Amino acid sequence: MTAVAPRAPHIPVLLEEVVEALAAKPGDLIVDATFGAGGYTRRILESGATVHAFDRDPDAIAAGRLWGETCGKDPRLVLHPRRFSELAEGLAEAGIAGVQGVVFDIGVSSMQLDQPGRGFAFSSDGPLDMRMSQDGPSAADFLNEADEGEIADVLYRYGEERQSRRIARAVVAARPLTTTGQFASVVRKALGYRPDIKGPKAQKDPATRSFQAVRIHVNGELDELMEGLAAAEKVLVPGGRIVVVSFHSLEDRIVKQYLREAAGALPAGSRHLPQTLAKPVATFEKPSSAIRPSAEEEERNPRARSATLRWAVRTGAPARNNAGRAAA
């Protein structure tokens, strides 16, 4: 029996492009590394493939189990309550040596953003949490305990915030912070944000960059992404496909560089520094160029506006031992 997803609280981004890039067939084994609300998984199951779905968020796994129960416990949906950096271990425990596809939808999900109690957004006030796995140090723990320099470095590195030191000073002065509204207010005040200015001169809410930075830090998202890409390289069979949807430049830069290096690209030599290294054996064929949403999709689903899709096909070469570290 084919599983049918419940009404999803979000619209999967670049869904048709993801399905086309994966090219899943009946009998294929596909990893949905970021299960979320199951939007990609639903379409993959419709192709006749089996899906091994990973998510570190207990809420997503619980919803997936409920979905499975209402759909007759379809054996083609296998849930793994763990990080996608651990997908190779999870598959091995399930007796799976290789898969035909791995898809990633990187970053925070709409389900997480839409729940004020999770603390990912400032549109509604909630506890300053931001933990995808719902365990470990929270955003409040970091902002209330880290020193000013560390906070500034996180805001600059992960939020590309040029005024990171000013914000960090304001955060330390305003401690303790316990809610998303408090943190957003501190950032706005530190940067002189004027929400009353409308029209062409209206400012984007500067709290967006700081929330992104703290969320990435709390969840170790960029390290997780690099480790997840390396895990996918290990489990994909020759001809298997990796498909990655990312939502900001830091993520896309990692994916682009990773796939470029996996395809055997090396920096060109010069007359001052000739290229002497042998070209590495490619573990992926030449990656796709960046795929962006259509204007129609952006109009229908505003979340898609910052999305970028990249994909590549696995060769028969052994997985690289240093995969993931090279893209750091």
Question: Does 306 lie in the same domain as 247?
Answer: yes
Question: Does 226 lie in the same domain as 104?
Answer: yes
Distance CA 176, CA 271 (A): 57
User: Is 324 a member of any domain?
Assistant: no
Q: What b/e sequence results for 112-125 when a residue is b if at least 16 CB atoms lie within 10 Å of its CB, and e otherwise? A: bbebbebbbbbeee
Q: What is the pLDDT of residues 17-69, one digit of tens each?
A: 999 999 999 999 999 999 988 899 999 999 999 999 999 988 888 888 887 66
Question: Does 124 lie in the same domain as 93?
Answer: no
319 C-beta neighbours (distance < 10 Å), count: 16
Q: Which of 220, 242, 269 is the last residue of a domain?
A: 220
Question: Does 106 lie in the same domain as 27?
Answer: yes
Q: Which of 204, 220, 236 is the last residue of a domain?
A: 220
User: Is 70 a member of any domain?
Assistant: yes
The C-alpha angle 259, 234, 99, rounded to 5 degrees, equals 100
CATH number, domain of 195, equals 1.10.150.170
The C-alpha angle 84, 90, 92, rounded to 5 degrees, equals 135
φ/ψ of 134, rounded to 5, equals 65, 25
The stretch 2-31 carries a mean pLDDT of 80
User: Is 126 a member of any domain?
Assistant: yes
Strand duo 308-313 + 236-246: pairing = antiparallel
Lowest mean per-residue pLDDT among 3-7, 118-122, 204-208, 244-248: 3-7
Return the pLDDT at 265.
83
Question: Does 138 lie in the same domain as 260?
Answer: no
Whether the CB-CB separation of 247 and 36 falls below 8 Å is answered with no
Question: Does 212 lie in the same domain as 238?
Answer: no
Question: Does 214 lie in the same domain as 247?
Answer: no
In this structure, the chain runs to a length of 328
User: Is 157 a member of any domain?
Assistant: yes
User: Is 134 a member of any domain?
Assistant: yes
User: Is 321 a member of any domain?
Assistant: no
Before 293, cis peptide (omega within 30)? no
Q: Which domain holds residue 298?
A: 15-111+222-313
Residues pairing with 80 in the sheet: 54
Q: Which of 190, 205, 220 is the last residue of a domain?
A: 220
User: Is 272 a member of any domain?
Assistant: yes
Is residue 95 classed as helix, strand or coil in its secondary structure?
Answer: coil
> How many folded domains does the chain comprise?
2
Return the pLDDT at 194.
75
Q: Provide the pLDDT confidence category of residue 245 given band limits of 50, 70 and 90.
A: very high
Question: Does 202 lie in the same domain as 56?
Answer: no
For residue 150, give Cα distances in angstroms to 165, 166, 190, 220, 328: 10, 13, 18, 15, 20
Q: What is the pLDDT of residues 145-173, one digit of tens each?
A: 999 999 999 999 999 999 999 999 999 99
Question: Does 274 lie in the same domain as 231?
Answer: yes
Question: Does 88 lie in the same domain as 56?
Answer: yes
Q: What is the pLDDT of residues 88-143, one digit of tens each?
A: 999 999 999 999 999 999 976 555 555 555 756 777 789 999 998 888 999 999 99
- Which H or E element spans position 104? strand 99-105
Question: Does 302 lie in the same domain as 239?
Answer: yes
pTM for this one? 0.87
Return the pLDDT at 1.
35
Question: Does 88 lie in the same domain as 173?
Answer: no
Q: What is the pLDDT of residues 255-286, one digit of tens each?
A: 999 999 999 986 544 555 555 556 678 999 98
User: Is 285 a member of any domain?
Assistant: yes
